[in-house]
Amino acid sequence: MPTLNLLQSDTSLLTTNQWNLLSNLVKLFEESQLISISQRLMDTNDVINVTFETLLKEWVTCCYETTGTYLCLNRDLCQLPTDDRSVILHSAADNVSCMVNALVIQNYPLYNLNAFCNIITSLYGKDVTDIHQWGMKFMDPDMIVIKLALSLFAFSEIAYPYYSKVLTNLTNPINILKIQNKYAEITWKYLLYRYGDYEAVKRFVNIISWFGATIRYIPYLQNISSHVNEVNSLVEQIELKLLLDDVDDIMKVNETSN
């Protein structure tokens, strides 16, 4: 991990706990499977369209699955009260899933493939793909910065009119603000340490611009039933897993006390 090398000669403002959090947040996102499928898409671009389309659908599914794994491993999310966790989960699943594919496309120029553009446009519409491509120009070339941005955006609550069964109010919004502040602080301190004042400001502004671009096309996606269904299914799976984890923790505490 590059962060470990930085830690060995640390002259930053980051505390040891902040370095550990930074490293953990970076390791939460496991993109190896997405990278593998992306490479296969690049390799099969000139192969039969049916093969490419099947592989692309696998890539889209993998984006949602990677999002789910990422959110399940976020300790701050897991430790929220159940009601607050439900609210944030819907926001996080939508926000992160909309950004996950951009992270991989940054290294694999899939938008240069006509077949990729045509199929993605047919699935999500031209408005989404146009804004998505435009927003990618704000992405930082530093993968650590991108992954920190994903964590920060996961806790950014947006209105969800299409999720009618979701609670709209947090029971304790201060907890979410504390998490956002914690993630923003380590992102800013990392940028200062790695790139200096001027570049840190530029890169942080780009992070905000990337968020803004993503927010612009999320409403379009909320009109696409396939995306809404995927997000709802993803949230249900995560909530079930976290609830089972909560039950296991309670049983362990009871066993220990007895």
The pTM is what? 0.82
For the purposes of burial, counting CB atoms within 10 Å of the CB of 68, is it exposed (0-12), middle (13-18) or buried (19 or more)?
buried
Mean pLDDT value across the chain:
84
pLDDT at 161 over 50: no
pLDDT of 169 over the 70 cut: no
Is the pLDDT at 182 greater than 90? The verdict is yes
Cβ contact 63:95 at 8 Å: no
Q: Spell out the domain ranges in the chain.
A: 14-257
Of 37-46, 155-164, 178-187, 214-223, the poorest mean pLDDT is in: 155-164
Asked if 116 and 209 touch (Cβ cutoff 8 Å), the reply is no
For domain 14-257, give its CATH number from 1.10.565.10, 1.10.10.10, 3.40.50.300, 3.40.1190.20. Answer: 1.10.565.10
Q: What is the pLDDT of residues 223-239, one digit of tens each?
A: 888 888 999 999 999 98
**Identity of residue 37:** I
Q: What is the CA radius of gyration of the chain?
A: 19
